[in-house]
Amino acid sequence: MHRVAISKPLAVGKFELTFAEWDACVSAGGCQHSPEDPGWGRGKQLVVNVSWDDATKEYLPWLSRTTARTYRLLTQAEWEYAARAGSGAQYTWGDDIGKNRANCDGCGSQWDKRQTALVGSFAANAFGLHDLHGNVWEWTEDCWHRNYHGAPTDGSAWIIACDSGRVARGGSWDFYPYYLGSGIRYGYFANFRGSAVGFRLARTLSP
């Protein structure tokens, strides 16, 4: 554990990005990669099979151009702050995974270890954000490091000594409850695409 002071105000997506949102980018010519859905449908289903590279080199630049506002991924420190929503427990609601509070392998939901759930299927946390625990792992800006030694304390992305690994947070529909913990990190290659990884939008606000 280490103390972090988020230095700049930010906006965070209420939900993880959906297929409908990604497909709008493809239709507009802003995204070249058109991800396959695993047979679960598109629309309000969370977009999966998108890599860190896809998100940061295609979707986020397109959205920023289209809206004239700069969108990005959350840093891992911002992600944890958003996920905890003031809680010091393992999950935003406490230290027990409970039942039907999230989607994972052992969360007690109808989607467990089967597929993603539609956005808004579970209650929001104290910040009004959904599914930071479970459903899909969420890409963050940060490079993968084995520990926090040397990590920024202002909430910014840790991108020093970066190789091809990037940090994902939050666990997913096919991972055990342990991996949904607010402080748990997982690493994927930046070009990895899979059915258990997606992302959430963030935007720095003027102070």
Backbone angles phi, psi at 201, to 5 degrees: -80, 150
Confidence of residue 207 (pLDDT cuts 50, 70, 90): low
Question: Would you state the structure tokens that stand for residue 206, as one six-digit string?
Answer: 């003027």
For residue 148, which amino acid is it? Y
Confidence of residue 164 (pLDDT cuts 50, 70, 90): confident
Q: What is the pLDDT of residues 127-137, one digit of tens each?
A: 999 999 999 99
DSSP SS3 for 186: strand
Cα dist. 150→2, 20, 75, 145, 180 in Å? 11, 39, 15, 10, 24
The predicted model gives 159-176 an average pLDDT of 93
167 secondary structure, DSSP code:
E
**What is the pLDDT, as a whole number, of residue 147?**
87
Query: Is the domain covering 9-207 a CATH 3.90.1580.10 domain?
Result: yes
Please report the beta strands in the chain, taking only residues with DSSP state E, as ranges in sequence order: 10-12, 137-143, 165-169, 185-189, 197-198, 202-204
The predicted model gives 139-146 an average pLDDT of 95
pLDDT at 196 over 80: yes
Domain positions in the chain are 9-207
Instruction: Look at strands 197-198 and 137-143 and give their pairing.
Output: parallel
Q: What is the pLDDT of residues 106-121, one digit of tens each?
A: 999 999 999 999 999 9
Q: What is the pLDDT of residues 48-98, one digit of tens each?
A: 999 999 999 999 999 999 999 999 999 999 999 999 999 999 999 999 999
Query: What is the pTM for the complete model shown?
Result: 0.96
pLDDT at 21 over 90: yes
pLDDT at 160 over 90: no
Half-sphere exposure of 152 (CA within 13 A, CB side): 17
Residue 152 CA from chain centroid, whole number: 20
